[in-house]
Chains A and B, each alone.
Chain A
Amino acid sequence: MKQEISFILNGEETKAEVEPHWTLLHLLREVIGLKGTKEGCGYGECGACTVIIDGKAVNSCIFPAVEAEGRRVTTIEGLLSKDGSLHPLQKAFIERGAVQCGFCSPGMIMSACALLAENAQPTEEEIKEGIEGNLCRCTGYVQIIEAIKAASGR
């Protein structure tokens, strides 16, 4: 039986009817239609599905949709400003070659975003810890780490 939940999605009051067994990822992609968040594994092992919930990076593929009730959820689509300009992280990822196939990029950027919100000037070790739960097969992480450093102003 569906439950109605109400939460803040990318800054907007949002209502949705969710089945108890739905993951937040399913709700975002298949019901609400925000396809930016990706499913890489479905088990919380790759981070492609990372969104920010109440300021913390979370794997949405293993987060029950019903638990979004009353929370603030931000997806990759929420990083663009109202006037369409890119978030500093998005700019940095583009400019530093941190995007190849791009499948890991939304989740990677959200993890980086959560990190920088909590720690504005992370060291390289802290950056690595911030994205340790995000797998990338294309870049070898090097340019991703550089991009996050650049976005942090270091």
Chain B
Amino acid sequence: MVRFEYFKPAAVSEALDIMRRFDNDAAYIAGGTDVMVLLRQKKLSVRALISLRNIRELSSLDGRFIGAGVTHRELQKDEHVRKRFSALHDAVCNLGSTQIRNVATVGGNICNAAPSADTACPLLVLDAEGLVEGPGGQRQIAIDDLFLGPGKTALAKGEILRGFRMPEFGETTGSAYIKHTRRNAMDLPILGIAVRVTVNKSDLPCRDLFCGAATASEILAAAGGDGLKCEDVRIAMGVVAPRPIRAKKAEAMLSGKAVTADAVAAAAEMSASESSPRDSVRGEAWYRREMVKVLVQRAFVKSIDRIVRPDGEVYPDRLW
């Protein structure tokens, strides 16, 4: 029988104290949408649950810092996140369900470290820096160093993720996250792709092409001539490796290069070769690898679209 004590500390220091008292035989619980499920499945057995839900210092949300305790719903409604961290906005709009988003936190999503965690790839491409606190004090850890494997993070036992320091991105940076699912709500991704691009200019005469109904490569081919150059790029992939990963070779291929259909297609191919998808109950390896090729290109086009048409959003005629 699952029996434990339940604590509701009001501060991070208090939470750390309780964890130390139980000699780390306790689990943190925030929104509970993962922990409560693990408890019910009898996959988690601890002597205490330490709730982070009521710790206000974990819930701060401003342009440079996202508290771990911020719910997906709060992120969804935040204007700065929508404009500057669009990939993260995409992720939280389609994560779980309305009920889940109302309580589930971004910190919980990351610390649960499922390979399919929707906020992971966006935070990876947005160069988030985790701020962690433990008995030994605070430390920073780059998000790329945070994920170790399925369900495993670089957090030491008992450490609490306080949140993420976010860079400042300007008008020439755009990002997108594409979650490939079987149904339009309450679904885990078959795979997920996030892209962030910084380009040399944000006004393009061919801007309307980017919201057209053609394929990604057709759009890029049509827009190719306008002297658009990729200054910096990040590509992250989820559910195609034991942890969310960046396609660093593909990034290197594109960085500093002109944005053309061929260049992006080559980067997409390279990303696919950097992935190691498996067959699982939720999807087949061959399909996942094919989708990396397709979705990297689409996410790229969407990122550019957000730069050149920052206020345009809806693509009624397009399937993606």
Complex contact flag A–B (Cβ < 8 Å): yes
Give the interface of A toward B (CB within 8 A).
Answer: 1, 3, 20-21, 23, 42-45, 47, 50, 56-59, 62-64, 66-67, 69, 111, 114-115, 129-135
User: Does B98 lie within 8 Å of A57, measured CB to CB?
Assistant: yes
A66–B53 Cα gap in the complex (Å)? 12
0/1 per residue, B21-56, Cβ < 8 Å to A? 000000001001100110110000000010101000
User: Does B99 lie within 8 Å of A59, measured CB to CB?
Assistant: yes
Within 8 Å by CB of A132, from B2, B8, B185, lies B185
A42–B51 Cα gap in the complex (Å)? 20
User: Does B2 lie within 8 Å of A58, measured CB to CB?
Assistant: no
Within 8 Å by CB of A59, from B3, B6, B100, lies B100
B33 surroundings in chain A (CB, below 8 A): 44, 59, 62
A134–B98 Cα gap in the complex (Å)? 9
Instruction: Decide if B97 is an interface residue (CB 8 Å cutoff).
Output: yes
User: Does B103 lie within 8 Å of A133, measured CB to CB?
Assistant: no
For residue B37, give the distance in angstroms from its CB to the closest CB of chain A: 5
User: Does A133 lie within 8 Å of B100, measured CB to CB?
Assistant: yes
B320 surroundings in chain A (CB, below 8 A): none
User: Does A133 lie within 8 Å of B185, measured CB to CB?
Assistant: yes
For residue A115, give the distance in angstroms from its CB to the closest CB of chain B: 8
Among residues 1 to 25 in chain B, which have CB atoms less than 8 Å away from a CB atom of chain A?
Answer: 2-6, 8
User: Does B6 lie within 8 Å of A132, measured CB to CB?
Assistant: no
A80–B6 Cα gap in the complex (Å)? 34
Give the interface of B toward A (CB within 8 A).
Answer: 2-6, 8, 29, 32-33, 36-37, 39-40, 49, 51, 53, 73, 96-100, 102-103, 184-186
User: Does A63 lie within 8 Å of B103, measured CB to CB?
Assistant: yes
User: Does A62 lie within 8 Å of B8, measured CB to CB?
Assistant: no
Of the candidates B5, B39, B100, the one having the most CB atoms from chain A within 10 angstroms of its own CB is B100
A47–B99 Cα gap in the complex (Å)? 8
User: Does A58 lie within 8 Å of B99, measured CB to CB?
Assistant: yes
A133–B102 Cα gap in the complex (Å)? 11
B53 surroundings in chain A (CB, below 8 A): 67
A21–B33 Cα gap in the complex (Å)? 14
For residue A114, give the distance in angstroms from its CB to the closest CB of chain B: 8
A45–B53 Cα gap in the complex (Å)? 21
Within 8 Å by CB of A50, from B37, B49, B99, lies B99
A43–B5 Cα gap in the complex (Å)? 21
Which residue of chain B lies nearest to A45 when distances are taken between CB atoms in the complex? B186
A49–B39 Cα gap in the complex (Å)? 18
B32 surroundings in chain A (CB, below 8 A): 62-64, 67
A57 surroundings in chain B (CB, below 8 A): 98-99, 102
User: Does A62 lie within 8 Å of B4, measured CB to CB?
Assistant: no
Of the candidates A3, A20, A134, the one having the most CB atoms from chain B within 10 angstroms of its own CB is A20
User: Does B8 lie within 8 Å of A66, measured CB to CB?
Assistant: yes
User: Does A133 lie within 8 Å of B98, measured CB to CB?
Assistant: yes
A71–B93 Cα gap in the complex (Å)? 26
For residue B128, give the distance in angstroms from its CB to the closest CB of chain A: 26
User: Does A64 lie within 8 Å of B3, measured CB to CB?
Assistant: no
A114 surroundings in chain B (CB, below 8 A): 98
Which residue of chain A lies nearest to B53 when distances are taken between CB atoms in the complex? A67
User: Does B2 lie within 8 Å of A21, measured CB to CB?
Assistant: yes
User: Does A44 lie within 8 Å of B29, measured CB to CB?
Assistant: no
For residue A10, give the distance in angstroms from its CB to the closest CB of chain B: 19
For residue B275, give the distance in angstroms from its CB to the closest CB of chain A: 28
User: Does B6 lie within 8 Å of A3, measured CB to CB?
Assistant: yes
For residue B118, give the distance in angstroms from its CB to the closest CB of chain A: 15
Within 8 Å by CB of B6, from A42, A50, A66, lies A66
Contact flag A64-B5 (CB < 8 Å), given A44-B99, A129-B98, A133-B97: no
A114–B101 Cα gap in the complex (Å)? 13
User: Does B37 lie within 8 Å of A62, measured CB to CB?
Assistant: yes
For residue A141, give the distance in angstroms from its CB to the closest CB of chain B: 11
For residue A74, give the distance in angstroms from its CB to the closest CB of chain B: 14
Supply 29 A–B pairs (Cβ within 8 Å), ascending by A.
Answer: A3-B6, A20-B5, A21-B4, A23-B36, A42-B40, A44-B36, A44-B37, A45-B186, A47-B99, A50-B99, A57-B98, A57-B102, A59-B99, A62-B32, A64-B32, A64-B36, A67-B8, A67-B51, A69-B8, A129-B98, A129-B185, A130-B98, A131-B98, A132-B97, A132-B98, A133-B96, A133-B100, A133-B185, A135-B186
A45–B188 Cα gap in the complex (Å)? 12
Which residue of chain B lies nearest to A129 when distances are taken between CB atoms in the complex? B98
